[in-house]
Amino acid sequence: MKIALLQIEISEKLSAIEDALQKIGTIEADYAILPEMCYGGFNYKTIYDRSRNFNQVKDMLLKFASKTTTGIIGTIPELEDGKIYNSMLYIDKDGLLKKKQRKYFLFKPNKEEKYFRPGAKEYVPVRLKDAVFGGAICYELRFPEIFRKQSFNGMQIAVVPAQWPASRIAHWKTLIQARAIENSCFFAAVNAIGKLNDMELGGNSMIVNPDGKVLRNLGKNREIAVIDINLDEIRKAREVIPSLEESKKEQFYGNC
């Protein structure tokens, strides 16, 4: 399976997203991962108006997926009943929206709680055509229980769209590898580059295998890369270290 990481700057122009997607159209990736809030980012002056364009952006992504048979996962602002959400879309290769997951843990240092409402607490993986995908959004990488529960429910690939600062990029790298190891699954984490207000974003988007090995790290610059992964590595990793099977999930996690 080929996974495309789209490490790009955040723009309020839809054409920027379209241009990035077009570059993977000729590479024939199975799934493309976009950064967090890939449409306009956290510009709170325009967030309400952009959230009203949710359906327009969603339809553009659905159309691209259908045309290229490339699934797309990423987050965009969504307005519902006067409330704004940071919504991650899981779009399959046939251009169908299979799941929408709203960010629950909002990042207070960025004042997200003043502009966004939290989504549901439940994190349930979804089967797309080639694998079972799950994940979380940026700051939620710091909450291991999110990924553990999804692993118990069959997650094979965890997706993490982000706008993670360069000043804490060591945390980003360490947490991604740790989550992959403890859940024995692949992690596809895409961070933006450029600026979040006055803060420099750190890039370093990566794919990590179930043993914690970094298969590709994109560094600090704009880059669009496709990485081939083998899902059979999940089975092998879980046979060698059967920690998921041996977890007392009912005791620690309740009914998963």
Asked if residue 246 has pLDDT above 80, the reply is: yes
Percentage of residues of the chain with pLDDT beyond 70: 96
CB atoms within 10 A of CB 174: 10
Q: With beta carbons less than 8 A apart as the criterion, state whether 44 and 115 touch.
A: yes
Task: Give the right CATH number for 2-253 from 3.40.50.10800, 1.20.810.10, 3.40.630.10, 3.60.110.10.
Answer: 3.60.110.10
Q: With beta carbons less than 8 A apart as the criterion, state whether 37 and 197 touch.
A: no
Asked if residue 256 has pLDDT above 70, the reply is: no
Residue 228: φ, ψ to 5°: -90, 125
The pLDDT score that the predictor gives to residue 102 is 98
- Say how far apart CA 220 and CA 239 lie, in whole Å: 35
The pLDDT score that the predictor gives to residue 197 is 86
The pLDDT score that the predictor gives to residue 251 is 63
Over range 137-147, report the average pLDDT. 97
Q: With beta carbons less than 8 A apart as the criterion, state whether 123 and 150 touch.
A: yes
- Say how far apart CA 184 and CA 238 lie, in whole Å: 6
- Say how far apart CA 256 and CA 253 lie, in whole Å: 7
Give 180-199 pLDDT, tens digit per residue: 999 999 999 999 999 998 89
- Say how far apart CA 128 and CA 144 lie, in whole Å: 23
Q: Which residues pair with 226 in a beta bridge?
A: 4
Give 53-95 pLDDT, tens digit per residue: 999 999 999 999 999 999 999 999 999 999 999 999 999 999 9
Asked if residue 30 has pLDDT above 90, the reply is: yes
Please count the CA atoms within 13 angstroms of the CA of 44 that sit on its side-chain side.
8
Name the residue among 133, 181, 184, 183 with its Cα closest to residue 160.
133
> DSSP characters for 106-140?
--GGGTGGGT-----S----EE-SSSEEEE--GGG
Question: Which pLDDT band holds residue 50 (cuts at 50, 70, 90)?
Answer: very high
Asked if residue 29 has pLDDT above 70, the reply is: yes
> DSSP characters for 46-65?
THHHHHTTHHHHHHHHHHHH
Give the contacts of 205 (CB within 8 A, at least 6 positions apart): 5, 7, 33, 35, 189, 190, 191, 217, 218, 223
Average model confidence (pLDDT) across the chain: 95
- Say how far apart CA 181 and CA 147 lie, in whole Å: 11
The H or E element containing residue 211 is none
The pLDDT score that the predictor gives to residue 248 is 63
Q: Where are the domains of the chain?
A: 2-253
